Structure 1
Amino acid sequence: MDNNVPVVDLGVWRTSSAADRVDTATALDRALRDTGMFLLTGHGVPDQAMHELRMRGREFFALPRKAKKPYAIGAPYESGWLEMHPGGGVGVPRDESRDGAAPPDLHESFYSGPSYRSGDEAVDRYCYPHNRWPNTELPELRGAVERYTGHMRRVAQALNELFAHVLGLPEDFFTSRASRATWTQNVSWYPSLNRVGTPVSGQFRNGPHTDLGAFTILSRQQGVGGLQAWNETQGWFAPIFRPDALVVNLGDLMERWTDGRWRALRHRVLAPSLSAPDEELLSLVFFYESDPGTRIAPLSPPIGGGAGLEPVISRRSVLEKLGVHVDDTVFPV
């Protein structure tokens, strides 16, 4: 364990006895209380699946703007292409209250989500929007995303069981509320300094924020202008990097679900550095929530942290933080 970021081997965890799991669960609980983050090894996600998606992602971002424009996101709940431009774009709210009004982030992204359909047009629009694949320009991208997200969904369910165990809840507490979970797979490209020019003061590749869902699974690349996490003891720090590990960080829904026992990770991605002007990075980010109508009722002490947070409806909470007006007939309060 380093910088309050433990490493959990999922394969070892699954085969360990109850007694052998105690130390791991204790260390994980402590890290999620302090920082909201850990590294996951033994996850079984093939290197080839990560490599293929990164390769196809780079091919998509290398397309001319006019080829990507038909896939541009027009609303926060849509799938498609998030353009990097001076006016900013649709994305996660930044910590403006703590860091001041921020300039636009220096990244470009492609979003996709589940292929589930509920049969209710309004629910599907907000929860399961149709994926818009560039089948003409880059037909290989869809397959690469679907292969990778198949692994992410499997890992997410394993994490749901892990979290339930650490909290002393029934093993299916979270998985039973995730049969048609909302999730987003984000392929994010962080261009080099030589491509974007010198950042302005206060500009980041991805500004300080917490994620909005239950948790996030990140396949990252190491870089000078890379990931930083925050906790009250250390402030901002660079988490350890292991090429065989996925990063798991908690989001706002899990902080609320545990009533403040665990914290949503505050994190950022630094701007490209003068010391590495050719460095570009590409992250694979899987944002996971729960079934969209799940009532996130804060757990009572001693399991919950006793912060006194109010219940929310899972998908409604995410959408409202993105500035979407939500009809009460779609997501009752």
Structure 2
Amino acid sequence: MSTSIPTVDITQWRHAGVAGKTEITSVLDAALRSTGAFLMRGHGVPRRLMTELRAQARAFFDLPRSVKSQYGIRAAYDSGWLEMHPAGGVGVEHSPGDGPDVGAPDLHESFYLGPGQGQGDSALDRLYYPANRWPGELPSLKAAADAYTAHMVRLAEEINALLAAVLGLPGDFFTSRARHSTWTQNLSWYPSLNAVGGVADGQLRNGPHTDLGTFTLLSRQQGVGGLQAWNEAEGWFAPPYDPDAFLVNLGDLMELWTDGRWRALRHRVLGPSAQAPDEELTSLVFFYESDPETLVEPLAPPAGGGAGRGSVVSRHAILEKLGARADLLSAAG
């Protein structure tokens, strides 16, 4: 088990004294500098909510393609279904790979949903809070997702306060900039080797990448073709797995915000393996950001790392990486 991804019990953190919090922040800071992730226990999310949302997600992915296509994503920043194309094509997720066939598409399907609560400006709401596209064939999916994401938003506020404490910032530094935060809940299904019928050389379930936001809360399943993380000391390695913990990993916005003090976790999901040809996995991935028009200004030392990076507008930076047109971003402000 890697020591570069520690476990933090958020309940213990709440009740720790000065010495206890100092020890926790020291361990956490070291991990976020080297790798960009930690495990979180004591979160208070009932396991039954994870089980139910996984079941609803799997029921959606089992629907015929003709049904799922009605909810297909129409733009890079939309909510809805993202199809898997083992042979390539429109709507494919591509990630830079380490294997010989780096152009092969990722082997997973996804369903994306977000807060969906507009702020009253139709143009901005379309970019910042796209409407969710709930499948009428699965009326229970919305209830399961709403119950689960309510906990994710609650935990995100606690993580924001924890990260501010580690950096020696006021406790509301991040939370005050996330009153109407943008976020995406991704339901991601990784089919088995038998289901996809084979893989190309170097093809992965999810290619090497960093996430775009401030941090991600991941509920994953362990598998032979599962998650790997990367740091300079160890290269690629399997993160510790705890069914009662979330993996919290930093994204690009937090690496920029800390001006390189902390790093976004580079990670990937291995391809389906002949060692476990029937293995399929379903991940619940909560990507969290900040208020969409927050100016993310790199922190000065000692909180910041002194890399000298430039400022960005939170949601604009993410949309640009997702391929949003410049005219849309200009209209948004």
TM-score range, shorter chain: over 0.9
Write the distance in 1 (CA, Å) between the matches of 2:319 and 2:267.
Answer: 20
Write the distance in 1 (CA, Å) between the matches of 2:260 and 2:230.
Answer: 16
Write the distance in 1 (CA, Å) between the matches of 2:165 and 2:58.
Answer: 38
Show the counterpart of 1:121: 122
Give the letter for the 1:77 counterpart. Answer: Y
Q: Which consecutive residues of structure 2, in runs of 5 or more, have no partner in the other structure?
A: none
Show the counterpart of 1:17: 17
**CA offsets per residue over residues 122-161 of structure 1, 9 Å max, x none?**
11111101100002x1111111111100000000000000
Q: CA deviation at 1:207?
A: 0.5
Write the distance in 2 (CA, Å) between the matches of 1:315 and 1:92.
Answer: 20
Say if 2:269 is the partner of 1:280.
no
On the 8 A contact 2:101/2:200 being kept in 1, the answer is no
Secondary structure of 1:52's partner?
Answer: helix
Show the counterpart of 1:213: 213
Write the distance in 1 (CA, Å) between the matches of 2:307 and 2:72.
Answer: 40
**CA offsets per residue over residues 26-52 of structure 1, 9 Å max, x none?**
010000000001000000111010000
- TM-score, length basis structure 1: 0.96
Show the counterpart of 1:39: 39
Secondary structure of 1:275's partner?
Answer: coil
Say if 2:199 is the partner of 1:199.
yes
Q: CA deviation at 1:326?
A: 3.4
Give the letter for the 1:140 counterpart. Answer: S
Show the counterpart of 2:68: 68
Tell me: CA distance 1:107–1:98, structure 2 relative to 1, closer, same or farther (3 Å).
closer
Tell me: CA distance 1:104–1:247, structure 2 relative to 1, closer, same or farther (3 Å).
same
Q: CA deviation at 1:91?
A: 7.3
**CA offsets per residue over residues 46-84 of structure 1, 9 Å max, x none?**
101000000000100001111111000011111000000
Show the counterpart of 1:134: 135
Q: CA deviation at 1:323?
A: 1.3
On the 8 A contact 1:210/1:266 being kept in 2, the answer is yes
Q: CA deviation at 1:115?
A: 2.4
**Equivalent runs, 1:1-333 vs 2, <5 Å:** 2-85=2-85, 86-87=87-88, 90=91, 94-95=95-96, 101-135=102-136, 137-327=137-327, 328-332=329-333
On the 8 A contact 2:294/2:313 being kept in 1, the answer is yes
Secondary structure of 2:19's partner?
Answer: helix
Q: CA deviation at 1:92?
A: 6.8
Secondary structure of 1:273's partner?
Answer: coil
Secondary structure of 1:163's partner?
Answer: helix
Give the letter for the 1:271 counterpart. Answer: G
Write the distance in 2 (CA, Å) between the matches of 1:25 and 1:281.
Answer: 33
On the 8 A contact 1:227/1:239 being kept in 2, the answer is yes
**CA offsets per residue over residues 223-251 of structure 1, 9 Å max, x none?**
00000000001000000101110000000
**CA offsets per residue over residues 227-280 of structure 1, 9 Å max, x none?**
000000100000010111000000000000000000000000000000000000
Give the letter for the 2:318 counterpart. Answer: V
Write the distance in 1 (CA, Å) between the matches of 2:90 and 2:73.
Answer: 9
Q: CA deviation at 1:101?
A: 3.9
Q: CA deviation at 1:202?
A: 1.7
Among all aligned residue pairs of Structure 1 and Structure 2, give the percentage whose two residues are the same amino acid: 61
On the 8 A contact 2:112/2:187 being kept in 1, the answer is yes
On the 8 A contact 1:157/1:175 being kept in 2, the answer is yes
On the 8 A contact 2:79/2:114 being kept in 1, the answer is yes
Secondary structure of 2:277's partner?
Answer: coil
Give the letter for the 1:114 counterpart. Answer: P
Tell me: CA distance 1:91–1:3, structure 2 relative to 1, closer, same or farther (3 Å).
farther
Write the distance in 2 (CA, Å) between the matches of 1:38 and 1:200.
Answer: 32
Write the distance in 1 (CA, Å) between the matches of 2:89 and 2:179.
Answer: 34
Secondary structure of 1:267's partner?
Answer: strand
On the 8 A contact 1:91/1:322 being kept in 2, the answer is no
Tell me: CA distance 1:129–1:261, structure 2 relative to 1, closer, same or farther (3 Å).
same
